[in-house]
Amino acid sequence: MSPYSALALLKHAVTGRPWPRAWRDPAPKAVYDVIIVGGGGHGLATACYLAKEFGIRNVAVLEKGYIGSGNAGRNTTIVRSNYMLPGAIEFYDFSLRLWNGLSHELNFNVMFSPRGQILLLHSPDALDSAARRGNIMRRHNIAARLLDRAAMQALVPHLDYRPSARFPIWGGLMQPTAGTARHDAVVWGYARAASDLGVDIIQNCEVTGFLREGGRVVGVETGRGTIRAGKIGIAVAGHTSRLGEMAGLRLPIESHLLQAFVSEPLKPLLDHVIGFGGHGHFYISQSDKGGMVFGGDLDMYNSYAQRGNLPVVRDVAAMAVSLMPCLGRVRLLRHWAGVMDMTMDGSHIISKTPVDGLYLNGGWCYGGFKATPASGWCFAHLIARDQPDPLTVPFSLDRFARGATIDEAGSGPTPNLH
């Protein structure tokens, strides 16, 4: 496949030749070394790193719809690594480092924009608490800046700084290296790079069951026939419990709805990603097209519906205008929901399973997008070497039984509160 470059762009512009398709569309083979179930960012990244870093190129990615049609295309595109629990800190730091080189690595512009993410602070206590988080981040060489009210006003002038504000602003905690990336481009970039290395990306191919021989999984039943493989990895955000059930696994996961919103395009208004938590839950950024991209809390009840309900729309809208009154008359362009596989501690699972040959990547709650590169890399390592990378060890499936949960929110085994 010819690399994308300024020269290639010029060549195509001059000759008028159409661009070739970015990834192949092969029919499934009968046997692969590795099958990845799920053609989202995580599944495609896994396949890409299996081929690129671990030399396993006889790989198929099976996607029930079209690639990127699940949560990879439904998130609010935020990339950050402002965690403070051991395990999560190192994992997300690794992910951010991969994000920084990703466009060059994939020869595809994923539009990673480290514009800075700011967590709003609304009381002196919140400032103290954020100072602690910032210090933990800096202790791990992750950039963090505590901003006072004046600094906030200079950086983000359109928040409500009036004395009568519903949420008075005392300051903010900024991770200057965090930001956003173009979610579709991440999917397409990984797909193109993986396909180029020999990975078969098979769309419209829903897995309906696992083929078992002597307790081991040896293949999958799909809408396009039986496909065998020595190792099978699951990376199917939202439906992890359903795939687990097919393999006889019961998992510490509930599926919940998360809604997201995008407004009509506006002129540049917000330079950073803004997060708001504790008194509610809200996050907002402005896309390169100008749309305000924002979201809030889960709908709070189990669901696979991919459509949310109005109380959350009302709550999110109320938080939007409370924090940025200038959004009051902005019209909503689109609004949708995705199905999150919420774990019992709010952290993800990258793990071997009790079933031989079956590997699990899931439970990303609603933080999966920023993890895409590290998730793919760590899952590829686990599948290729049959041993977890040190970054993966804390996120094993058996951590719940061992009492070694990684609960950043401290809300206990209550999936909808993470």
x-marked contacts with another protein along 266-305 as a string, rule CB under 8 A: ----------------------------------xxxxxx
Q: Which is nearer to another protein, 255 or 396 (CB)?
A: 255
Site for another protein in 298-317 (CB under 8 A): 300-305, 309-311
Given the structure tokens 């009840």, which residue do they identify? 301
Neighbours of 110 (CB within 10 A): 24
When binding is defined by CB under 8 A, the residue of 255, 263, 286, 372 that contacts another protein is 255
Residue 413 interacting with another protein (CB under 8 A): yes
Asked if residue 294 lies in contact with residue 317, where contact means CB atoms within 8 angstroms, the answer is no
State the pairing for strand pair 117-121/216-222.
unpaired
x-marked contacts with another protein along 383-402 as a string, rule CB under 8 A: -----------------xx-
When binding is defined by CB under 8 A, the residue of 270, 316, 344, 384 that contacts another protein is 344
* Secondary element (H or E) of residue 373: helix 368-385
Asked if residue 287 lies in contact with residue 261, where contact means CB atoms within 8 angstroms, the answer is no
Q: Which is nearer to another protein, 73 or 413 (CB)?
A: 413
From the CA atom positions of the chain, what is the Rg in Å?
A: 22
Residue 234 interacting with another protein (CB under 8 A): no
Q: Which is nearer to another protein, 253 or 355 (CB)?
A: 253
When binding is defined by CB under 8 A, the residue of 90, 200, 254, 297 that contacts another protein is 254
CB of 85 to another protein, least distance (A): 18
Asked if residue 141 lies in contact with residue 209, where contact means CB atoms within 8 angstroms, the answer is no
Residue 117 interacting with another protein (CB under 8 A): no
Residue 241 interacting with another protein (CB under 8 A): yes
Residue 413, exposed/middle/buried by CB under 10 A (0-12, 13-18, 19+)? middle
Q: Candidates 78-86, 176-184, 248-256, 328-336: pick the segment binding another protein (CB under 8 A).
A: 248-256
Q: Which is nearer to another protein, 69 or 309 (CB)?
A: 309
CB of 306 to another protein, least distance (A): 9
Residue 416 interacting with another protein (CB under 8 A): yes
Asked if residue 377 lies in contact with residue 386, where contact means CB atoms within 8 angstroms, the answer is no
- Convert 109-170 into a string of H (helix), E (strand) and C (coil): CCCCECCCEEEEECCHHHHHHHHHHHHHHHHCCCCCEEEEHHHHHHHCCCCCCCCCCCCCCC
- Return the bridge partners of 13, or none: none
CB of 96 to another protein, least distance (A): 29
Q: By CB under 8 A, name the binding residues for another protein.
A: 239, 241-242, 250-255, 300-305, 309-311, 344, 400-401, 413-416
